[in-house]
């Protein structure tokens, strides 16, 4: 009696393996997009805080040009601020309250930063 696997058994095992690899790859890529979006939002918050500190210490103009913020190519920024520019008052670091929205162009999901009049990011939706 011969021992071994038949061709049908080998094809079934390979098909199951291909389905598992495909499902894992799709799941990992979805997680990667979420991480890219989250990293972009965190970078934006850090840039806003850095410019506010510059304005409060008198070391810079305290202006954040949202169009110049370098994020991932698939992320776009829009805001309620005129000209997409946040301006902080010298020494106090205050600004007009508003929102900044980061949109992921690949799946149209958004994250919105709420900034109060003291220039603090109070919430990220």
The pLDDT assigned to 108 comes to 85
The pLDDT assigned to 1 comes to 63
What is the model's pTM?
0.71
Segments forming the whole domain that contains residue 23? 7-124
Beta strand 85-87 with 75-79 is unpaired
- CA distances to 12, 69, 80 from 102, rounded to whole Å, are 45, 11, 12
Neighbours of 68 (CB within 10 A): 11
- Structural domains of the chain, count: 1
In a domain, 71, yes or no: yes
pLDDT tens, 1-10? 678 889 999 9
Q: Which two tokens stand for residue 50?
A: 């850095």
In a domain, 56, yes or no: yes
Q: Return d(Cα 67, Cα 65) in angstroms, integer.
A: 5
The pLDDT assigned to 21 comes to 92
Give yes or no for a contact between 96 and 58, defined as CB atoms under 8 angstroms apart.
Answer: no
The pLDDT assigned to 15 comes to 95
Name the most confidently modeled range: 10-19, 28-37, 38-47, 97-106: 10-19
Whether residue 36 has pLDDT greater than 80: no
In a domain, 49, yes or no: yes
């Amino acid at each position: 009696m011969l021992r071994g696997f038949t061709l049908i058994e080998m094809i079934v095992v390979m098909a199951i393996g291909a389905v598992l690899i495909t499902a894992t790859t799709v799941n990992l890529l979805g997680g990667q997009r979420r991480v890219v979006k989250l990293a972009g939002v965190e970078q934006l918050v850090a840039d806003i805080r850095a410019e506010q500190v510059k304005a409060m210490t008198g070391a810079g103009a305290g202006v954040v040009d949202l169009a110049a913020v370098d994020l991932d190519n698939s992320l776009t920024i829009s805001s309620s601020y005129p000209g997409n520019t946040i301006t902080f008052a010298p020494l106090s670091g205050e600004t007009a309250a508003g929102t900044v929205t980061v949109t992921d162009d690949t799946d149209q999901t958004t994250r919105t930063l709420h900034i109060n009049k003291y220039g603090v990011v109070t919430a990220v939706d």
